[in-house]
Amino acid sequence: MDCLFCAIVAGEIPSRQVYADEAAYAFLDINPWHRGHTVLVPRRHVTDLLELPEGLGELTPAISATGRLLVERLGAQGLNLLSNAGAVAGQEVFHLHVHLIPRYADRPGMAGLMQRETGIDLDEVHRQIVGA
């Protein structure tokens, strides 16, 4: 199967890892809306949330840990969680993923959620998160 996020989980395509456990893998989004925008995926291939009868259950510990890590390390004041299921909902990569988007006081509110911030240095953000 030709799946971008399966290839990222397998390490065949490089990514900036934020968090990983036995069920999930989280990495910096290549085109962030806000500093530290992270994508979290199940290690196994699932198309979207609607294909997962048990819901996000097995991903919950990783979602929680990744969210707290991002907020603490980046000094964010809040966090948005979002999962797009289906092309009509804006899904572009058809391997279930949750967006974790740290939020900062200088760009608050839902209206600004998806406004891309330019000039984010992903390597610098990654170093700040993983402490390298």
Residues annotated as catalytic (active site), given as ranges: 97
Going by C-alpha positions, the residue among 4, 37, 32 that lies closest to residue 18 is 37
24 near ligand 5GP, rule: CB under 6 A? no
Which of 17, 47, 80, 84 is the binder for ligand 5GP (CB under 6 A)? 84
Which of 9, 15, 62, 101 is the binder for ligand 5GP (CB under 6 A)? 15
Which of 91, 113, 126, 128 is the binder for ligand 5GP (CB under 6 A)? 91
Cα–Cα distances in Å, from 109 out to 8, 102, 115? Answer: 31, 12, 11
Residue whose CB is less far from ligand 5GP, 30 or 50? 30
Which of 1, 22, 31, 119 is the binder for ligand 5GP (CB under 6 A)? 31
Joined together, the tokens standing for residue 35 give: 């500093």
Residue whose CB is less far from Zn ion, 6 or 85? 6
Q: What's the first-to-final CA gap in the chain, in angstroms?
A: 34
Angle between helices 122-130 and 60-74 (to 10 degrees): 100
CB of 98 to ligand 5GP, least distance (A): 9
Which residue reads 């707290």 in tokens?
68
Cβ atoms of residues 49 and 96 within 8 Å: yes
46 near Zn ion, rule: CB under 5 A? no
Contacts to Zn ion by CB under 5 A = 3, 5-6, 45, 95
